[in-house]
Structure 1
């Protein structure tokens, strides 16, 4: 395989995916963060901000960035509006991902950090998928400790995400974040080694 081995990294809210992505970065593996990409697209002058402002009036802040609270309120509980939003944002995210892959074409391994990887069919563009996971009670405690998070909002987020059990079933690799950093780091190292072996084989 002359191109990089593409590892999809995903996990439901509160599972520790961001911390896991940082472990890959610390090991000099290029990571494309889909959430950070969306943040830039939503920022002042971002490619998505103008389109969102036109599609959902009242969702832009004075500086021209997307007011995420207003946007969340505009689409919450409305499947059709959520699909419309995704149809605006997803093509822009895909373009940024393709640019990332072109920049890192000489790397042995790259990671695509995508929260809704399975939900959007993104695993089709990956050579393997690692799912970050933790028990439901750990996930719940982590999420409800976030500022402004409510039981209702948590429930609505979970309803849009594939159940963790299904993600685990579809994963090539699991990274468990409830057993301490050394355990998770050892699993990250094992995934990197396995990806290198698969690329060489």
Structure 2
């Protein structure tokens, strides 16, 4: 039985991954957004709140997870971060499995996963697509975000697989340093190519 071709989309902070994911979705490719799934499960009445509160007392409230409070508890502590990931990652995996079942008839599906390489998720997809832009463009975009500092930006970069390594591990690279229209044309060309290859494999 044929199943969808699974595209893993990733990219470092400020590279335009969310914009590119939206372009895939607009073109009719079902998209699973790992970050959105986590936000929902950690939001008001989210299914992960009891487990997170039990492991990290005082980190949740009526509005869901208090990201600042939780951040202080796990920041810089690998054991506590691993404990949090042990709660979150299996739950995301279940959501992803449900998404795949619901879209089993689609020729292509896309997993939008920020830490695709860092978590080894690149081994669980058929095609790895990396969004990338020149370092100066990335820096400009990120530092324009509210509350962002050079120190925060550099800390985040330090946690992520370097852009050059992501590009080296990609099957396809989408250049987001160009105009939105140019980026969109790259996305549409890739979708057409993957549809063609999926059809040829049947």
The corresponding residue for 2:123 is 124
- The Cα offsets for residues 38-71 of structure 1, whole Å up to 9 and x where unpaired, read as 000101221222211111122113x150011111
Give yes or no for the alignment of 1:174 onto 2:173.
yes
Give yes or no for the alignment of 1:46 onto 2:53.
no
The corresponding residue for 1:136 is 135
Gaps of at least 5 residues in structure 2 are none
- CA distance in 2 between counterparts of 1:152 and 1:80 reads 23
Which shows bigger deviation, 67-76 or 102-111? 67-76
The corresponding residue for 2:15 is 15
Gaps of at least 5 residues in structure 1 are none
- CA distance in 2 between counterparts of 1:88 and 1:40 reads 14
The corresponding residue for 1:89 is 88
**Aligned residues, how many?**
200
CA RMSD of aligned residues (A): 1.2
Structure 1 position 198, deviation (Å): 2.2
- CA distance in 1 between counterparts of 2:149 and 2:53 reads 27
- The Cα offsets for residues 15-47 of structure 1, whole Å up to 9 and x where unpaired, read as 000000110111111000001000001012212
- CA distance in 2 between counterparts of 1:44 and 1:33 reads 19
Checking the alignment, whether the CA contact within 8 Å between 1:130 and 1:172 is kept in structure 2 is yes
The corresponding residue for 1:185 is 184
- CA distance in 2 between counterparts of 1:73 and 1:19 reads 30
Checking the alignment, whether the CA contact within 8 Å between 1:49 and 1:64 is kept in structure 2 is no
Give yes or no for the alignment of 1:111 onto 2:146.
no
Q: Which 4+ stretches in 1 moved above 3 angstroms?
A: none
- CA distance in 1 between counterparts of 2:58 and 2:171 reads 42
